[in-house]
Structure 1
Amino acid sequence: MYQNRAPLPKEYGAFAVQVFQFAQQKDPIALKIIQQQVEWVSQYLDALIAKGAQKIVLVGGVSEAILSYLPERFLTYFCPPQGDAMAGAILMAKAQIGRKAI
């Protein structure tokens, strides 16, 4: 029997490539979808900057594709990652251990 469930990120990702391809052809629906995502991402970026972020790394399947659609005011904050997700998890774990040890 079919179970109602939320789509997995990889399932969204399968369509994301097509959305960006259609946007390059000036498809109005694809452009609307991307604009909605730009607004959402911009809210998060503004929140990070308001909290003092100096450098921001975009990661994920559409991070490179959406970059050209984001407002220019964010460009000075973007930098390449200094490691992968595992390296970040290890740094976060070390920071947690350090806080509890104090």
Structure 2
Amino acid sequence: LARFWLTECKNVIAVFDAATSVQDIIRNVSQHQSGEKILTEQRDYRFRINRKDIVKMKYFLSESGMEELQDRFMNSSSTMYRWRKELAVKFGVREPRYLLLPDSVTLL
């Protein structure tokens, strides 16, 4: 997901692995000019998230029912369930709904 935002969003200039030390992050950021994208070595993940996945995820996370999704994408219910499962695997969750924040959680 981070790699997707690095390529698609101009405000994101760098993505680092969780194992990257703070000193390495500071060194990498200070070596690049302002606004320049910082491409660090990253593991080759098997699943890549693309723009279509983001669109599908938007519909799965909304209150849309399965019938509405079938009408929207003109596919069978088995295809919709397969897409939902593939997205869950890509995001590393059991079901897409687990990506939603509860209403009581507020971001600072």
TM-score range, shorter chain: under 0.3
TM-score by length of 2: 0.26
Bigger relative contact order (CA 8 A; separation at least 6): 1
Whose helix proportion is higher, 1 or 2?
A: 1
Give the TM-score, by structure 1 length.
Answer: 0.27
